[in-house]
Each structure stands twice: as C-alpha cells, then as structure tokens.
Amino acid sequence: KNQVEQSPQSLIILEGKNCTLQCNYTVSPFSNLRWYKQDTGRGPVSLTIMTFSENTKSNGRYTATLDADTKQSSLHITASQLSDSASYICVVILNYGGSQGNLIFGKGTKLSVKP
C-alpha cells in the first residue's frame, strides 16, 4: 500500500534553533517528492520539489534531502523564526503524472516555534 509517514507528529522548539522533520514513504512507482508548508487557516504552499535523482534542495532556510534507496526524506529548518510555526506536509507523487491526482500526502508535522 502506498503510504507516507511523517515524524514527529508535533514539535516545539525555541526561536533561533534548528530542527529536522522526517518523512518515510512506501510509494511506487516514485516520481517526485514535495514538502509543503501550511499556516493555520491557509492552504499548503510548496517549499521544495525533488525528483528521485536529486539528493538535496534548498529554499532559503529550508533544506530538503532525499534518499531514494531508503525511501526517506528530511526537511531541515535552520535558525528558526516565529513565522516557521506551521504544519509541514510531505507529499510523494506517483509516476503516473502529477496532473492526474496521484499524490500521496503525509499527515504532517506541526511545528511550534516559541520566543
């Protein structure tokens, strides 16, 4: 069964600290993996997109890594800010074309950054 598991479910860190969110998937055939940020009351917004041949992708203070052999991805947030408080969702796309709705969503990690 195609699944995306994220850990931890929730995380509280102090402002300025770094953190790493995990995503394990059992999705085949794999096309690409995305990380989304979802602020409370808003729709998800894409942070990074990686194909199976990419090991790392950065977007400012956000760095995503992908190990296609172990089927694991991580999202590292550097020097966290209060505005990083949000849910982070890992999404794996099946290799049938993302336009056909073949996305498998994780349940998300809820990050709270405290002053």
Partner 1 sequence: DAGITQSPRHKVTETGTPVTLRCHQTENHRYMYWYRQDPGHGLRLIHYSYGVKDTDKGEVSDGYSVSRSKTEDFLLTLESATSSQTSVYFCAISEESGTYEQYFGPGTRLTVT
What contacts 29, CB < 8 A, 6 or more positions away?
94, 95, 96
* Closer residue to partner 1 (CB): 32 or 65: 32
Least CB distance to partner 1 at residue 25 (A): 12
* Closer residue to partner 1 (CB): 45 or 79: 45
Residue among 42, 37, 41, 35 at smallest CA distance from 57: 35
Residue among 80, 60, 73, 79 at smallest CA distance from 104: 73
Least CB distance to partner 1 at residue 20 (A): 20
What's the CA gap between 89 and 106, in Å, rounded?
6
Least CB distance to partner 1 at residue 98 (A): 3
* Closer residue to partner 1 (CB): 11 or 15: 11
Least CB distance to partner 1 at residue 79 (A): 27
Binding site for partner 1 (CB under 8 A): 4, 32, 34, 41-46, 49, 89, 93, 97-101, 103-108
* Closer residue to partner 1 (CB): 44 or 80: 44
